[in-house]
Amino acid sequence: MIDLETVRAETPGCDNILHFNNAGCALSPHPVIDSVISHLQLEQRIGGYEAASQAEKEVANFYTQLAQLLNCESSEIAFMESATRAWQSALLSLDLKAGDEIITAGNEYVGNYLSLLALARHRGIRLQTLALGADGLIKAEELENQLSTKTRAIVVTHIASQRGDIQDIKAIAEIARSEGICLLVDACQSVGQLPLDLQEIKCDFLCGTGRKYLRGPRGTGFLFARNQSTASFTPPVLDLQSASWDAAESFTVKQSASRFESFERNLAGQIGLGRAAEYANALGMTHIAARIQSLAENLVTGLQSLQGVQVHELNEPRSGIVTFSKTGTAAAALQSHLHQQGINTSTSKKNNARLDLDRETQGDVIRASLHYYNTSSEIERFIQVIDRF
Ligand SMILES: Cc1ncc(COP(=O)(O)O)c(C=O)c1O
């Protein structure tokens, strides 16, 4: 069980605002922010490189905690400046050639999809995008039908930014594994809200960001690169962190996932993200997921009781992301009204979800995203404000 009083006391933002924008950026708890500030202060006192040497334990904690969170080896974790960079580095390490195929799906994150479109336009990569089923989910049999001898990678988003339905990445990973095709999972919206066991989900790469459900600092992310299956993949660019310069004309790329890292990085952020993963591990991902799910069910029940309100997620179990529309109300106007009432939400814009189910016809919708530190009384207040608008 999560001790709500403690986690809220450690989250000062809870006193000021009703924060239902956790899928955008969650509120960081004290231990995370304290670890970031104390490293910055150490840098200020003794110098950046010297602080890095002194903080070896805190940096190592990042790898240990992420590995514990994902049930993988710490050598399979790389610190990245964002999930997008992690995703791009992983995909480009496949050394794709014109004519190679990539399979993705209609819920893919806009930033990833733009990169895929650019690969198709500039490098002759063939992009196959699976339409989502009427329930908003990727269909395993559709995926199987699309596979060909040219398929080099399957790239899927676990929970989309614009819609809270949870995709069955375990089933997708089984297909990819049995066909020997590289699977890259975007877990930005699921890491920190659902347990992710990478011994069960047999993907090759998985990326995530720090600032969302993990409650880490902004400007942080990570990449998981499975030792067993990705060792031969070299990142598109190297530096002194990712490789060693052995002789004037030769170099060796690192074996571990740190071959995807950069030498220069936000060390305070990396320490903070390690602390955030430690915080999640201490609470327990099963408890976190259960609480988020039950809050999301309350929210959906409340919204569905209002006239003219339509919730867009179609599946259970629910994630913490709930999107909805209110007849005759523009999403932006409702979001701004909520903001004036001290309630943070965001909108899922149709321009960022052009292939997602019905989004073109629904237009922009409101996205309320809950975390375990939210409460039932916050949900009640939220419902009242929506009702009165
Ligand atoms: C599903 C998904 N993937 C990727 C990203 C991008 O993450 P980052 O900003 O760390 O690159 C987001 C951010 O909203 C997201 O929701």
Q: Where in the chain is the domain with CATH 3.90.1150.10?
A: 4-27+284-388
Residues of the chain with confidence (pLDDT) below 70: none
Ligand 1 cavity residues, CB under 6 Å: 82-84, 109, 111, 157, 160-161, 186, 188-189, 209, 221
Pocket perturbation via mutation, ligand 1, pick of 109, 213, 218, 346 by most ligand atoms within 8 A of CB: 109
Q: What local confidence, expressed as pLDDT, does residue 211 receive?
A: 98
Contact 191, 208 (CB under 8 A): yes
Fold of the domain spanning 4-27+284-388: Aspartate Aminotransferase, domain 1 (3.90.1150)
Q: What local confidence, expressed as pLDDT, does residue 362 receive?
A: 86
Pocket perturbation via mutation, ligand 1, pick of 85, 205, 209, 356 by most ligand atoms within 8 A of CB: 209
Fold of the domain spanning 30-282: Aspartate Aminotransferase; domain 2 (3.40.640)
C-alpha 359 – ligand 1 centre gap (Å): 19
The pLDDT tens digits for 33-46 are 999 999 999 999 99
For the four alpha carbons of 25, 186, 290 and 300, in that order, the dihedral sign comes to positive
SS3 for the chain is: CCCHHHHHHCCCHHHHCEECECCCCCCCCHHHHHHHHHHHHHHHHHCHHHHHHHCHHHHHHHHHHHHHHHCCCHHHEEEECCHHHHHHHHHHCCCCCCCCEEEEECCCCHHHHHHHHHHHHHHCCEEEEECCCCCCCCCHHHHHHHCCCCEEEEEEECECCCCCCECCHHHHHHHHHHHCCEEEEECCCCECCECCCCCCCCCCEEEEECCCCCCCCCCCEEEEECHHHHCCCCCCCCCCCCEEEEECCEEEECCCHHHHCCCCCCHHHHHHHHHHHHHHHHHCHHHHHHHHHHHHHHHHHHHHCCCCEEECCCCCCCCCEEEEEECCCCHHHHHHHHHHCCEECEEECHHHCCCCCCHHHHCCEEEEECCCCCCHHHHHHHHHHHHHC
Q: Where in the chain is the domain with CATH 3.40.640.10?
A: 30-282
Q: What local confidence, expressed as pLDDT, does residue 192 receive?
A: 98
Q: What local confidence, expressed as pLDDT, does residue 256 receive?
A: 97
The minimum-distance atom of ligand 1 relative to the CA of 221 is 10
